[in-house]
């Protein structure tokens, strides 16, 4: 009798061992998937940070060029004042008011450079051709940088809305990403300049 019990015991352990192996394999697979998702989310947050830095650089460049042009004396006094105040406000804006200040600068640029004649007047003075080209490039790069930033934000938000990300807190303590919303429409006279 004891011989039969000894022989039968290993047979009973085989299904339990097999089940444990499958459970371990499933847990490892789930862990790998969650780790991959957390890594993907981390890469998206890094992409947002890089895109925001690029956007900030383009916004600062646009404001600096506009401010420099406003103080150069090539614009009439009223246009210079409008452009200078909007550019200065955009450069000094706190984060909470940044979108509004940048939108105001876009509106000021459209008001000042709404007519082709104003761009031609800037180009006519010494150094004006370079100034107009630099401003046109700065004005055109802002929407591209903003679109790149907002695309990264959209991708991160979509991933963060998944239940697995919320349940397992894969985002950690990273703040929920916010899009940068502003009026970035370029003045037609600057946007259509050839060679920029």
pLDDT at 126: 87
Tell me if 176 is assigned to some domain.
yes
Please list the pLDDT of the chain residue by residue as tens digits (196 residues).
Answer: 455 545 544 555 677 888 889 998 888 888 888 888 888 889 999 999 999 999 999 999 999 999 999 998 888 899 999 999 999 999 999 999 999 999 999 999 999 998 888 888 888 888 888 989 999 999 999 999 999 999 999 999 998 888 888 888 887 788 899 999 999 999 988 876 554 4
Chain centre to alpha carbon of residue 180: 7
Tell me if 152 is assigned to some domain.
yes
Centre a 10 Å sphere on the Cβ of residue 64 and count the other Cβ atoms it contains.
Answer: 15
Tell me if 196 is assigned to some domain.
no
State the residue range of the domain holding 82: 2-191
pLDDT at 1: 47
3-state secondary structure 114-171: CCHHHHHHHHHCCCHHHHHHHHHHHHHHHHHHHHHHHHHHHHHHHHHCCHHHHHCCCC
Q: Which tokens hold the place of 111?
A: 């008001």
Domain count of the fold of the chain: 1
């Amino acid at each position: 009798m004891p011989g039969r019990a000894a022989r039968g015991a290993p047979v009973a352990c085989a299904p339990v061992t097999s089940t444990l192996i499958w459970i371990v394999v499933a847990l490892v697979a789930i862990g790998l998937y969650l780790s991959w998702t957390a890594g993907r989310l981390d890469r998206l947050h890094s992409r947002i940070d890089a895109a925001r830095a690029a956007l900030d650089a383009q916004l600062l460049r646009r404001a600096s060029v506009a401010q420099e042009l406003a103080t150069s004396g090539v614009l009439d006094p009223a246009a210079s004042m409008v452009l200078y105040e909007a550019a200065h406000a955009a450069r000094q804006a706190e984060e909470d008011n940044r979108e509004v200040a940048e939108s105001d600068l876009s509106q000021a640029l459209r008001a000042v450079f709404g007519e082709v004649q104003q761009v031609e007047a800037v180009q006519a003075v010494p150094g004006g051709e370079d100034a107009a080209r630099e401003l046109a490039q700065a004005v055109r790069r802002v929407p591209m940088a903003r679109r790149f930033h907002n695309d990264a934000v959209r991708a991160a938000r979509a991933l963060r809305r998944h239940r697995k990300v919320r349940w397992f807190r894969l985002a950690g303590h990273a703040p929920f990403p916010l899009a940068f919303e502003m009026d970035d429409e370029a003045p037609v006279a600057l946007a259509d300049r050839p060679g920029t």
